[in-house]
């Protein structure tokens, strides 16, 4: 089965989550060598799973193993309300790789009773539980029940709220308990002073900050023989099994350098790996494996583990290539101050890919576009790789069709038709512009610290890339390049972007809460700034007690996006922390409680899950009678809980934690 049909895209649905299945187009037709490369890289993408669980929470694996033991061994009635609530909790914890919501970062509120949990754990044979020496199941159950049920224990995984000590109020496991934000910032400021200012390594990226016996701070590095070394060794084994099937010598060098980084933990080696990885553009199979994104650290230094494997989508790649071939034209015509433009725009490679395996922080919730590496100097000197993950986008689009969102929230029939006609195409193109050109555009002024925007850096960076895409999607150049059919198409993107930023993205946020996540802050910032500054172009109107986005002048909107792009680029280029703070705090954080409540109510009636994630395909080696590998099969029949439990058994990377 190559294509996953519409009926099988939609899988299990619970809480605010919907699981989807994605197909890997063309896998069966690949030569055996490429199939084996994918197989072993996929193994490497799964072996780091336990690392992420420990990064997200100091007791992540302890909780997972205990909850799974209850889930697998429960033999009471299945219609018991406590059991049903427990099953949903288990599935949510799997989805988040921890006990906090993957998006809001707030701890889940369990809907089963403490008594039920204690009773089920105490029933289990001690050999099934991750007990400490001398600990009884009762003691373990009490210890975990405090974490699960007491709201004041670990309430939030990542806290980015202005004003508080971000480390003391975040429960992620990147800093040992008791280390303050000021201490950590001073520690890394000290390291930064000693490091190369022109080509700074990603300081702090691959370690947990801890306090030594004498009270000083020190890094416990994630490497072979160090913290998480056991899982890292298994990742290296899988990478080395993939190596003989690499498509070219550079791909082999990428694997070798990554393994060497995993063994030493040396950040210089990581930079070498990134450079080799950017330069390797010939292979059809590609992968990322390691400590990559920093959204899980309130200080934006420590990177969560992720792994993914992909294969090129040749058809869609042609579209992205048309953009990157013209990268310099886009840079030269951008509305930003010429001082902030890149004089030579190079290395923006553009490839559309299909995901073949998602792991770590990309599983089950995944990004649909990836732009790496994150190091600014490597991006400036060597460029970056930008990819759009076409098969995941396709699965999202199929799931969205017929959901009723458009009928409820789009202002009129004509706008609905606009979105039906151009929506999918423009969404893809905006993602391409964001990833292939937006993130790669612009430059910092000499001497500006890349981390100057601190906690606001991620939001501003996403806003910059989105604005670049919004500004250019309306440019006649895209019609000229054959990427859009006509000058009307961009309007669908403008409408749907503002609708999302002003109204519909609120459905993902619990009432009483504010916007926390960087991409959501960015979309609110852009939309609400535009609403405030360009009332002649866009407004919010009320009809029969319901609010709608009304666009009055699409051409003016383009001017608005251009103006804000220029300002956001200035903030980034000059490292203007105060301006970033004001922009984000003024437009990107707070919600209007009445509007929020109305939107949530209208949305609830549609009964759609706001968050989606993916079930991976399963790859299996096929042997002949003599034991030779003759093929790699791909199957799409594993259920969500089966997959999670299999991963826990099969990729049990950290026995000690």
Based on CB atoms, which residue is closest to Zn ion, 68 or 461?
A: 461
Give the residue with the Cβ less far from Zn ion, 442 or 617.
442
Q: Which is nearer to Zn ion, 492 or 522 (CB)?
A: 522
How far is residue 470's CA from residue 430's CA, in Å, rounded to a whole number?
7
**Shortest reach from residue 465's CB to Zn ion, in Å:** 5
Question: Helix or strand or coil: residue 239?
Answer: helix
Specify whether the backbone of 231 is left (phi greater than 0), alpha (psi in -120 to 50) or beta.
alpha
In the complex, what is the shortest distance from the CB of residue 308 to Zn ion, in angstroms, rounded to a whole number? 16
Query: Considering the complex, what minimum distance in angstroms separates the CB of residue 434 from Zn ion?
Result: 6
Would you give the distance in Å from CA 266 to the centre of its chain? 25
Q: Mention every residue, 6+ apart, whose C-beta is less than 8 A from residue 319.
A: 352, 428, 429, 432, 483
Q: Could you tell me where the beta strands, DSSP code E, fall in 481-566? A: 538-543, 546-551
Give the CB-nearest residue to Zn ion.
Answer: 465
Output 30 or 467, the one with its CB closest to Zn ion. 467
- Coil, strand, or helix at residue 180? coil
Distance in Å, CB of 431 to Zn ion, minimum: 9
Q: How far is the CB of 462 from Zn ion (least distance, A)?
A: 5
Other Cβ atoms less than 10 A from the Cβ of 647: the count is 19
228 vs 308, which CB is nearer to Zn ion? 308
Q: How many CA atoms lie within 13 A of 132 on its CB side?
A: 9
Indicate the residue among 37 and 465 with the shorter CB distance to Zn ion.
465
Instruction: Determine the Cα–Cα distance for residues 291 and 358; give it in Å rounded to an integer.
Output: 14
For Zn ion, the closer of residues 110 and 383 by Cβ is: 383
CB of 266 to Zn ion, least distance (A): 28
Query: Reduced to 3 states, what is the DSSP secondary structure of residue 395?
Result: helix
Nearer to Zn ion, 293 or 451 (CB): 293
Q: Which residues bind to Zn ion, rule: CB under 5 A?
A: 462, 465
Shortest Cβ distance from residue 438 to Zn ion (Å)?
A: 7
Distance CA 17, CA 93 (A): 12
**Cis status of the peptide bond prior to 75, with omega within 30 of 0:** no
Residue 9 and residue 224: Cα distance in Å, rounded? 39
Give the list of residues 6+ apart from residue 88 with CB closer than 8 angstroms, or none.
Answer: 14, 15, 111
Specify the residue, 24 or 465, whose C-beta has the smaller distance to Zn ion. Answer: 465
CB of 479 to Zn ion, least distance (A): 25
CB 307 within 8 A of CB 286: no
For residue 353, report the phi and psi dihedrals to the nearest 5 degrees: -125, 165
Rounded to the nearest whole angstrom, what is the least distance from the CB of residue 615 to Zn ion in the complex? 25
Q: Which two tokens stand for residue 228?
A: 């998480």
């Amino acid at each position: 089965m190559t294509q996953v049909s519409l009926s099988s895209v939609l899988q299990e649905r619970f809480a605010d989550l919907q699981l989807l299945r994605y197909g890997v187009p063309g896998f069966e037709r690949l030569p055996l060598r490429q199939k084996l490369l994918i197989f072993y890289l996929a193994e490497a993408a799964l072996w780091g799973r336990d690392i992420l669980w420990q990064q997200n929470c100091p007791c992540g694996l302890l909780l997972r193993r205990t909850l799974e033991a209850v889930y697998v061994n429960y033999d009471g009635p299945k219609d018991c309300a406590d059991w049903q609530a427990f099953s949903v909790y288990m599935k949510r914890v799997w989805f988040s790789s921890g006990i906090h919501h993957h998006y809001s970062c707030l701890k889940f509120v369990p809907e089963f009773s403490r008594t039920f949990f204690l009773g089920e754990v105490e029933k289990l044979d001690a050999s099934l539980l991750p007990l400490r020496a001398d600990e009884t199941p009762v003691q373990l159950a009490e210890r975990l029940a405090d974490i699960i049920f007491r709201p004041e224990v670990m309430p939030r995984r990542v806290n980015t709220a202005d004003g508080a000590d971000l480390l003391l109020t975040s429960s992620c496991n990147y800093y040992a308990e008791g280390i303050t934000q000021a201490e950590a910032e001073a520690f890394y400021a000290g390291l930064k002073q000693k490091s190369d200012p022109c080509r700074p390594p990603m300081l702090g990226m691959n370690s947990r900050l801890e306090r030594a016996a004498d009270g000083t701070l020190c890094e416990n590095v994630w490497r072979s023989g160090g913290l998480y070394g056991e899982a890292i060794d298994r990742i290296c084994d899988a990478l080395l099994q993939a190596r003989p099937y690499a498509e070219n010598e550079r791909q082999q060098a990428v694997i070798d350098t990554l393994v060497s980084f995993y063994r030493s933990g040396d950040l210089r080696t990581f930079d070498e790996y990134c450079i080799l990885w950017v330069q390797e553009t010939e292979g059809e199979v590609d992968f990322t494996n390691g400590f990559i994104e920093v959204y899980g650290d309130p200080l934006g230094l420590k990177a969560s583990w992720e792994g993914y494997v992909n294969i090129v989508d040749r058809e869609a790649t042609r579209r992205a290539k048309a953009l990157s071939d013209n990268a310099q034209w886009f840079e030269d015509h951008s509305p930003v101050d010429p001082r902030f433009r890149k004089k030579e725009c190079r290395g923006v490679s553009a490839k559309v890919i299909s995901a073949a395996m998602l792991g770590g922080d990309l599983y089950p919730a995944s990004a649909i576009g990836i732009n790496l590496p994150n190091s600014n100097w490597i991006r400036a000197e060597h460029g970056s790789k930008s990819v759009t993950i076409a098969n995941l986008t396709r699965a999202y689009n199929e799931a969205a069709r017929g959901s009723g969102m458009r009928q409820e929230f789009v202002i009129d029939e004509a706008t609905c038709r606009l979105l039906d006609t151009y929506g999918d195409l423009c969404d893809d193109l905006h993602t391409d512009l964001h990833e292939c050109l937006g993130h790669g555009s612009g430059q910092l002024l000499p001497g500006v610290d890349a981390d100057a925007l601190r906690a606001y850096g991620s939001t501003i960076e996403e806003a910059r890339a989105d604005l670049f895409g919004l500004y250019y999607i309306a440019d006649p150049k895209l019609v000229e390049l054959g990427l859009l059919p006509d000058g009307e198409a961009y309007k669908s993107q403008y409408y749907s972007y503002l609708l999302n930023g002003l109204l519909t993205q609120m459905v993902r946020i619990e009432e009483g809460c504010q916007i926390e996540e960087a991409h959501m802050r960015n979309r609110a910032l852009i939309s609400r700034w535009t609403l405030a500054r360009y009332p002649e172009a866009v407004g919010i109107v009320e009809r029969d007690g319901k609010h709608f986005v009304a666009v009055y002048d699409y051409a003016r909107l383009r001017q608005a996006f251009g103006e804000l792009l220029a300002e956001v680029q200035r903030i980034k280029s000059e490292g203007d922390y105060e301006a970033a703070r004001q922009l984000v705090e003024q437009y990107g954080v707070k919600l209007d409680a009445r509007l929020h409540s109305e939107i949530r109510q209208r949305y609830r009636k549609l009964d759609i899950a706001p968050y989606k994630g993916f079930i991976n395909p399963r790859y299996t080696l096929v042997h002949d009678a003599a034991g030779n590998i003759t093929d790699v099969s791909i199957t799409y029949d594993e259920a969500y809980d089966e997959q999670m439990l299999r991963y826990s058994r099969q990729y049990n990377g950290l026995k000690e934690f």
